[in-house]
Amino acid sequence: MSPTLQRGLRYAAIAGLVVVLFLLGMNSGPVYQVLTDAWAAVLPASLAESLRQGTSTLVTKKSLPAMLTYGIFYTSLCLLLIGLLLGTWRRLGLALTAYWLVFGACALLLLLGKIGHLDWAYQLARRLIDMVVSPLPVIILVPLLHWQRRLAMSE
């Protein structure tokens, strides 16, 4: 495959991912409803009810499985977009590490909120989740990783 064709396919994939992410963000309500209905059809009612009762309304008022499914899908698309924008999959590891650190912080805050009954921990975790399941990490990480590459090449 010629380099020109590869570049064109890469740009088309980037444009397609931007459109999909935009549409997902603009239509998150109906997407959540579809995911909620799908999970309701799959999960036993008792498990769905215990998941709902075990989740603080400060974290989400939506179905927890639907929220996790949407978050994982959206984040995966963002990571794919970052990989395509950077042009190399090696630097994607740094972006993946950043995502894992934020997800780890969210998990710790949720655990802290659950154990200590701390509303501020739930609210901070919710803010971090909202930030990571958005285009913001892409907007921040792509320029930073390009800058890091240039800095490493100059040394």
Give pLDDT, residue 76. Answer: 93
Length of the chain equals 155
Of 105, 142, 97, 144, which is closest to residue 127 (Cα–Cα)? 105
CB atoms within 10 A of CB 23: 11
Of 63, 81, 66, 64, which is closest to residue 21 (Cα–Cα)? 81
Give pLDDT, residue 110. Answer: 85
- In the chain, which residues have pLDDT < 50? none
Taking the C-alpha atoms of residue 92 and residue 81, their distance in angstroms, rounded to an integer, is 10
